[in-house]
Amino acid sequence: MRAEQQLMFYCPLCCAVLYCSVECQRENTQGSTCQSHGFWCSKFLTYMKDTSTLSDFPFEFSQETSSADFDATRYRSFLKEKGVLGEGCWLREGLTSSDKVQSHRYGRYLDLENPYVLPVESCVLDEPISVDCQSSIVDWASYYKCRELDLSSPVAILLQWPLTVFFIIQNVLNGTEPGNEVNIDIVGVEKEVELVPVFKELGNLLPESKIDIHMFGRHLHPQVKEKTWSFGSVVVSVHNELYHKNVCAPQAQTPHLVIGFNAGIAAYSSWIPTIKKLKSMKVPTYFTDYCKSSIELSRLMLKDHCDVMTSDPILNPFRSPIRMTSSDHDLPWFSNAYILGLEYT
């Protein structure tokens, strides 16, 4: 929980970071390394200016869900009001640190029977997409219009994952030719393994393609380990191992595309051997992240430890409409907010 607001104050320059005392601020600002606020202050000021752009959604509820004070309590109330709290693929949404669900491994709560919970959305998303509007899908507004979904529907929270993959394929890989097989590896998965059924929508978006998805992550629940599910033209397999260990196997296929959602590369040293392997394979690889500060750290780590550069991050039009809050800053954080690609030399 954030401390009582009246006991805290913002950095007067960036207006992003909260401090409990002048002494704390002075200590944190000293120095110019990436551990110091002195390094980040001007950057944070720039990031804060992105707030209105990141919060720009067509949904009826987005003014509420993209506000700086939309915390876990308010999120739970929102999900309850929508009738999805604790149900289907929504189970891990709005959790607090004390929720029992948090102690269970990812994959424990996989609902293949009623993933969306919402009756109207469940029916709509079970149908193919009209051929006439497929090419017009470029953001949430055009997608909802094409699918004839009401802008009060929160289903974008779940669909951010397959729609982000769709955006990368269409705009980064220049789309797919009819009849093509698209092999996609998704690395560093956690909650994604409980969202397996929503990837069926990727098949609806690319109806002429056979899509083979392999998910890789550690410490997954036994019920999803080395399992495969088919949803029409989409096949999803889950592997309980680090990616660089699997791709060394003789039977491993070379993917057309590798994606890591909300990667936070700089926070996990286990990314280093994976990135080095991807570099040797020269596979098109894209990562999403919550915010530009995480991307900045990731780019530093990639350059220093893997000798890999990245493209400039682009705003993901299919990012989550739910703002994430922090106890010590007000930087705008959204799941899958930005996309950046690895550049190999």
pLDDT for 254-280, tens place per residue? 899 999 999 999 999 999 999 999 999
Q: How confident is the model at residue 245 (pLDDT cuts 50, 70, 90)?
A: confident
Residues 77, 182: one domain?
yes
Q: Are 160 and 318 in contact (CB under 8 A)?
A: yes
Tokens (6 digits) for 90: 């929504």
Residues 8, 103: one domain?
no
Residues 74, 40: one domain?
no
CA distance 332 to 324: 7
Residues 93, 196: one domain?
yes
Distance of CA 89 to the CA centre of its chain: 15
Residues 20, 158: one domain?
no
Could you list the beta-strand ranges (E) of 129-283. Answer: 181-187, 210-217, 228-231, 234-240, 257-260
Number of structural domains found in the chain: 2
> Global pTM?
0.92
Is 54 a member of any domain? no
- What does each C-alpha distance from 149 to 77, 145, 205 come to in angstroms? 22, 6, 15
Cβ neighbours of residue 9 closer than 8 Å, sequence gap 6 or more = 18, 19
Range of the domain at 99: 60-343
Domain boundary among 49, 72, 89: 49
Residues 3, 83: one domain?
no
Residues 77, 6: one domain?
no
Specify the range with the lowest mean pLDDT, choosing from 52-56, 185-189, 326-330, 338-342. Answer: 326-330
Residues 36, 94: one domain?
no
Residue, of 91 and 9, whose pLDDT is higher: 91
Residues 282, 306: one domain?
yes
Q: In the block, which residue shows the tokens 């690609």? A: 341
